[in-house]
A and B are shown apart, each in its own frame.
Chain A
Amino acid sequence: MVLGIDASSSSLSNKNLSVLVVDDDPLIRMLHDNYLKHFGLKPHVVENGKEAVKLFQLGIYFNLILMDNEMPIMNGVEATKVLRDMGSTSMIVGVTSRGSPSEMQTFMEAGLDFCFEKPLTFDMIDFILKELNMNDDDDDDTNN
């Protein structure tokens, strides 16, 4: 039984999407990695915001970044702000245990596109991928 997945998020359309998972908890990294693989993606995984920023500085672009908030060295709010200041156009989605409205608001204001409270679900990924594919379609229309 496959939960919450429909044809528009099929593996075929996701093959070319690059994804980065940023979380300090190894269990969460493993879960998010496998959730995304279930959708035909091949995520890159790092353990804090500074590592995510380093990848950007190296010129490595990700269509999607799943960003935890609570992390040592550089947390999700800081990392998101830095990435946006540096010109990152990735879709950045916050996935956090800190689900109070004010905490989610602060996280959104750092520059997120969306923010979800943990745990990550198939439906959330489905939604995110649909949004990503829609953005790609918009870009195609502009270029034509």
Chain B
Amino acid sequence: MVGTSLSQQLENYIQTMHDQGILDYHFDHVKALQNEENPRFLMEVISMFAHDAEAGIAHLTTLLNSAVVDFAKVISFVHQLKGSSSSIGGVRMALACRQIRHACDNMDKERCLQLLERMKQEYNSLKECLNIIFEMERSIVVANETRHRQP
């Protein structure tokens, strides 16, 4: 019974994130890939995403704060972040990445730096949301494992 109410809480939370525009339907697609054979799939995806995103944002920060900006490299990192954030349903972060790409096309360093700050804010909102989902998933996994172990 505990597992069921946790799942319902998770569904409700995900719906709230949809309503706030932080997550789009791609998140639901990813969640639908989880099954009994890979019960921690969503947790793995979230961990990987957070790790890669933070590394990518760090690279972007360094590149954009250089005296002479290598816009081609910036574009490359921005595309990777756009790809991974959109794949996990982080639509607002993906949009911020697209905006940075346009600023790069104009070789506008100041605009890129402004948009980088906005993208970091979107990432922080997304990360907070994904952390909560991660913890809820972890509780569900533990509850299910405990249930299966009981005689």
Contacts and interface: CB of A to CB of B under 8 A. Distances in A.
* B partners with A: yes
A26 B82 CA distance: 14
Contacts of B48: 26-27, 30
B45 A119 contact: no
Nearest to B77: A70
Nearest to A103: B79
Contacts, number: 57
Interface stretch (A7-15, A31-39, A43-51, A127-135): A31-39
B21 interface: no
A1 interface: yes
B82 A97 contact: yes
B33 A25 contact: no
B41 A28 contact: no
A27 B38 CA distance: 15
Interface stretch (B24-32, B126-134, B136-144): B24-32
A20 B139 CA distance: 35
Given A27-B45, A34-B41, A70-B80, A3 B87 contact: no
B26 A119 contact: yes
Nearest to A123: B29
Nearest to A32: B87
Contacts of B44: 30
B32 A2 contact: yes
A122 interface: yes
Contacts of A118: 82-83, 86-87
Nearest to B85: A119
Interface string A105-144: 0000000000000111110000000000000000000000
B33 to A, nearest CB: 4
Contact of A27 (B28, B41, B52, B82): B52
B89 to A, nearest CB: 8
Given A31-B45, A97-B82, A25 B52 contact: yes
Contacts of B28: 3
Nearest to B34: A34
A31 B52 contact: no
A42 interface: no
A31 B79 contact: no
A98 interface: yes
Given A1-B32, A70-B76, A70-B80, A30 B87 contact: no
Contacts of B45: 27, 30-31
